[in-house]
Copies of this chain bind each other. A is one copy, B any other.
Amino acid sequence: METVKYLLSEDRMPTAWYNIAADLPAPPPAVLHPGTGQPIGPADLAPLFPMALILQEVSTERQIEIPDEVQAIYRQWRPTPLYRARRLEKALDTPAKIYYKYEGVSPAGSHKPNTAVAQAYYNKQEGVKRLITETGAGQWGSSLSFAGALFGLEVLVYMVKVSYNQKPYRRALMEAYGARVVASPSTETNAGRMILAEHPDSTGSLGIAISEAVEVAAQDPDARYALGSVLNHVLLHQTVIGQEALAQLEMAGDYPDIVVGCTGGGSNFAGIAFPFIGAKLRGERDVRVVAVEPAACPSLTKGRYAYDFGDTAKMTPMVKMHTLGHDFVPSGIHAGGLRYHGMAPLVSHLLELGQFEATAAQQLETFAAGLQFARAEGILPAPEANHAVAGAMREALRCKEAGESKTILFNLCGHGHFDMQAYTDYQAGKLKDFEYSDEEVAMALAGLPSVG
């Protein structure tokens, strides 16, 4: 019944983000202009992002200082706890040691505020008045709304229409923080109006919502665009997670044999894994790293490593990533935060370098794992986090079979308080597994741009 919690004192909270670009044997491929197909420079991104974030996007400095004001806000919930899951170990009867880092203690309930606060700060510093973004399930939208409220920035969120209607409580949380939330596709943008003219009943997609947000941000000199995953600077901000975990495991006198994270766009995975992969790249310490993605959106396990757009309307730059194609519409599984057609370029690059393994999990396995975790550890995970729980449990059960006492670390990136319909459906037997055939994936990939 024992709870083993490793809490860092505030003075040991990281004061710099860790930039893995400094430790890469080769830099990731260039980012290309959506129109010309030529490499872009910082100035090309200036209408969308503040210069401080653009410079972070291309930086190769290993340590990037966290501004005092961002640290001051992080301290509301950071350092987050690292737990040893002794009760889960007992339930699984495994000789493995399972540790989990818990990011659900943030005000918005996930790891997303780590970057939302930083992005809001840099935008405020550069005189920006409003932030425009998109959200699917709503984790990111609510985190940016929280950060915007603290810095006195207006926040406008294009929320995928199907989620806008199905997840009214995530919308309510954003509105409670003072944000304006618009169902996408909307009549407020050219991109939205074009979609609606052709498909009046469109329920929207993340790709369309990104197009709307980018369009509005690019046209308003007082506004900038904000993205919650995929980009280098977003992954950078999440590295506080893994850095803290390193220090906490040191307190425990331990080091992981295996690090597990779930992957959608790649930001929480990068947050927990990059500091450990960095140590491996520098030849300091070996580790096995496992990414767990949904079988219903298998960019790492079934996608192609190729140049692709970040949005359906092809307005964003092209990046080289593991992608299912920008037209890909993932099946309606409940881990909405993992339903993105592409993977962060840095994460994709590291997979190509053989620095981690990718695996897929079916929905039913992940919910079963999440419920077993909740009953043992008391915390109900978000459906996204259930993928990491399932991955860690697979490894723990392998240890049981092999009689090995390995040390497993995973990132519990958020709680499931806003995902109770998913648990209700699971317990009622209404959820199904889903997997794309190779033929279906090949069809989706046929639309990839012919560059790179």
Contacts and interface: CB of A to CB of B under 8 A. Distances in A.
Interface in A414-449: 417-418, 420-421, 423-424, 427
A366 to B, nearest CB: 14
A1 B172 contact: no
Nearest to A142: B380
In the complex, the count of this chain's copies comes to 2
Contacts of A74: 3
B175 A378 contact: no
A144 B101 CA distance: 25
A451 interface: no
Contacts of A178: 375
B1 A378 contact: no
B3 A73 contact: yes
Given A10-B5, A105-B105, A149-B374, A175 B75 contact: no
A309 B1 CA distance: 37
Contacts of A107: 378-380
A1 B151 contact: yes
A251 to B, nearest CB: 12
Given A76-B83, A83-B76, A420 B1 contact: no
B146 A427 contact: no
Interface string A64-86: 00000100111110000001000
A150 interface: yes
Nearest to A76: B3
A379 B108 CA distance: 8
A284 interface: no
Given A1-B72, A168-B420, A418-B417, A150 B378 contact: yes
A72 B3 CA distance: 5
A356 interface: no
A265 interface: no
B83 A5 contact: no
B1 A69 contact: yes
A149 B2 CA distance: 14
Contacts of A172: 420-421, 423-424, 427
Nearest to A6: B10
Closest 10 A-B residue pairs measured CB to CB?
Answer: A169-B420, A417-B417, A107-B378, A3-B76, A172-B420, A149-B375, A172-B424, A3-B75, A2-B72, A107-B379
Interface of A: 1-3, 5, 7, 9-10, 69, 72-76, 83, 87, 105, 107-109, 146, 149-151, 168-169, 172-173, 175-178, 371, 374-376, 378-380, 417-418, 420-421, 423-424, 427
